[in-house]
Amino acid sequence: MELHFLLPLFASLLFVFVFLKKFIQSNNRRLPLPPGTMGWPYVGETFHLYSQNPNVFFASKQKRYGSVFKTHILGCPCVMISSPEAAKFVLVTKAHLFKPTFPASKERMLGKQAIFFSQGQYHTQLRRLVLRAFMPESIKSIISNIESIAQHSLHSLQGRLITTFQEMKTYTFNVALLSILGEEEVLYRGDLKRCYYILEQGYNSMPINVPGTFFNKSMKARKELARILAKIISTRRQMKMEHNDLLGSFMGDKECLSDQQIADNVIGVIFAARDTTASVLTWIIKYLGDNPSVLKAVTDEQEAIIREKEKCGEEQCLSWADTKKMPITSRVIQETLRVASILSFTFREAVEDVEYEGYLIPKGWKVLPLFRNIHHSPEIFPDPEKFDPSRFEVVPKPNTFMPFGNGTHSCPGNELAKLEILIFLHHLTTKYRWSMVGSNSGIQYGPFALPQNGLPIRLIRKS
């Protein structure tokens, strides 16, 4: 009797549940999309974004439509959000509703099993492995190697007219390989660099895989990169030696990562570690050149470290403790990250229909928190276009300064990036002077914002 009584009750509850689910889904579909324009078919507004100052694109959209608006870039329908509260909603509070993603071209080039595109337990595993290789205790051991790369780089550039961004890319690429392969990186640097430089040309291309396109050439280079990495992995397995670098962390016996998973993540780390850090260094050199009083303050701070070491009879090579005696230089890095906003936005994808502020973010649409808009908001940072490192003497409010992202998918390599910048600036400011050549007021885009022509400078050794 009890069973006969319960069955109709269960059936009724099931009916109500199905009805409510359909009602909610139907109601979501009736929610309006955010305001905005989608541009041309397929191409959307990609060229509009990447051909000009991104501040102009983002600010004009925000002024016209508010802090939430739709657009279409790199073949993807997108919702862009430009407030600290919205960024927190997507990256932290409701992070489970938005998976990390990139446009299709980047996903295929980096590899779909890279940390950028993963979630859940697999992402947790990858993040732990990357952090293990990049945590302070690990990167302390390569400070002398990074310093050697910085000194050699600067020595090779002195007395020449150079394109700063291109030379900084070489420096950061070599540091990235050091962190991934340890001292073995010199054995493979040439081949890896040749392939990667072809690969990067297609990062922001349309995913059209026909002969002659950037995408096609990049995919061929990616296959060759994977073959080189497979050879390195095979050699290490035969040698049966432990390594404390990132590749060694990925290859741990307990991790059970396939060669393809390892290759995807190594290529991904190179991508994350190279151009962004090189862009930051380029902007720092420009801002220091434009602001003599700030340059003097940084130089005085760095020279004080040298004098203290001489007074104590210590070797001149930098230590981890020395890098903690650079507060002014660190604030210069922070302010550069804010003003230049190298990472203008990040990509997420809605895993289901999501409501935000009365608008529908459809499942499958990309969602882009606009870090640049937040970093340039006069309500958050007064006189936002002014380069003023002293503003970071006070810790910014939560969710207002996100140069490395936010939440569980924030950049796990930020400590290494800051370390290699500090080491480079120590030797640059204490041993060299530079002058900018030509007009230094213009900005070029594609995709990172950079000083015009990559900032041509002439580097001279101090007497």
**pLDDT for residue 179 is more than 90:** yes
Q: What is the CB-side half-sphere exposure of residue 260 using CA atoms within 13 A?
A: 6
H or E segment to which residue 403 belongs: none
pLDDT of residue 14: 43
Range with the lowest mean pLDDT among 130-139, 169-178, 207-216? 207-216
**pLDDT for residue 12 is more than 50:** no
Measured between alpha carbons, how far is 69 from 94 in angstroms, rounded to an integer?
A: 19
Range with the lowest mean pLDDT among 40-49, 300-309, 367-376? 40-49
DSSP 90: I
Average pLDDT over residues 76-104: 89
**pLDDT for residue 95 is more than 50:** yes
pLDDT of residue 462: 93
Is the domain covering 46-461 a CATH 1.10.630.10 domain?
Answer: yes
What percent of the chain lies above the pLDDT cut of 90?
58
Average pLDDT over residues 23-28: 46
- Token pair of 299, please? 């130089």
pLDDT of residue 2: 44
Q: What is the pLDDT of residues 187-225, one digit of tens each?
A: 889 999 999 988 888 876 777 778 888 889 999 999 999
**Backbone angles phi and psi of 220, in degrees to 5:** -65, -40
pLDDT of residue 347: 86
Q: Is 386 exposed, middle or buried (0-12, 13-18, 19+ CB in 10 A)?
A: exposed
Measured between alpha carbons, how far is 295 from 384 in angstroms, rounded to an integer?
A: 20
**Backbone angles phi and psi of 321, in degrees to 5:** -60, -35
- Bond prior to 447 in cis (omega within 30° of 0): yes
SS3 36: strand
What is the torsional sign of CA 75, 81, 87, 89? negative
Residue 228 pLDDT grade (very low, low, confident, very high; cuts 50, 70, 90):
very high
DSSP states along 372-388:
HHHHT-TTTSSSTTS--
What percent of the chain lies above the pLDDT cut of 70?
92
Average pLDDT over residues 258-270: 92
Instruction: Output 228 or 59, whichever has higher pLDDT.
Output: 228
Range with the lowest mean pLDDT among 45-54, 287-296, 410-419? 45-54
Residue 446 pLDDT grade (very low, low, confident, very high; cuts 50, 70, 90):
low
Q: How many CB atoms lie within 10 A of CB 94?
A: 13
Orientation angle between helical segments 327-340 and 414-431, nearest 10 degrees: 110
Measured between alpha carbons, how far is 319 from 309 in angstroms, rounded to an integer?
A: 11
Range with the lowest mean pLDDT among 23-37, 254-268, 390-404? 23-37
**pLDDT for residue 159 is more than 80:** yes
Measured between alpha carbons, how far is 192 from 209 in angstroms, rounded to an integer?
A: 22
**pLDDT for residue 105 is more than 80:** no
**pLDDT for residue 3 is more than 60:** no
Distances (CA, A) of 79 to 2, 39, 59, 62, 463: 52, 14, 15, 12, 54
Q: Which residue carries 């990062």 as its tokens? A: 203
Structure-derived torsion over alpha carbons of residues 142, 148, 149, 153, reported in degrees to the nearest 10: 160
**pLDDT for residue 230 is more than 50:** yes
Yes or no: say if 274 and 172 are a contact pair by the CB < 8 Å rule: yes
Residue 44 pLDDT grade (very low, low, confident, very high; cuts 50, 70, 90):
confident
What are the residue ranges of helices labelled H in 313-452?
A: 320-323, 327-340, 371-375, 414-431
Average pLDDT over residues 168-190: 92
Range with the lowest mean pLDDT among 69-78, 173-182, 330-339, 426-435? 69-78
Question: Is 76 part of any known ligand binding site?
Answer: no
pLDDT of residue 425: 98
**pLDDT for residue 28 is more than 80:** no
Measured between alpha carbons, how far is 200 from 214 in angstroms, rounded to an integer?
A: 9
- Token pair of 145, please? 């190697």
pLDDT of residue 447: 65
Average pLDDT over residues 385-399: 95
DSSP-derived pairing of the beta strands 76-81 and 366-369: parallel
**pLDDT for residue 265 is more than 60:** yes
Structure pTM? 0.86
Average pLDDT over residues 226-245: 89
Query: How much is the mean pLDDT over the chain?
Result: 87
Average pLDDT over residues 226-241: 90
pLDDT of residue 4: 47
**pLDDT for residue 118 is more than 70:** yes
DSSP 41: T
**pLDDT for residue 54 is more than 80:** no
Yes or no: say if 282 and 316 are a contact pair by the CB < 8 Å rule: no
Q: Which of 348, 346, 350 is nearest to 374 (CA)?
A: 346
Yes or no: say if 368 and 383 are a contact pair by the CB < 8 Å rule: no
Average pLDDT over residues 33-38: 91
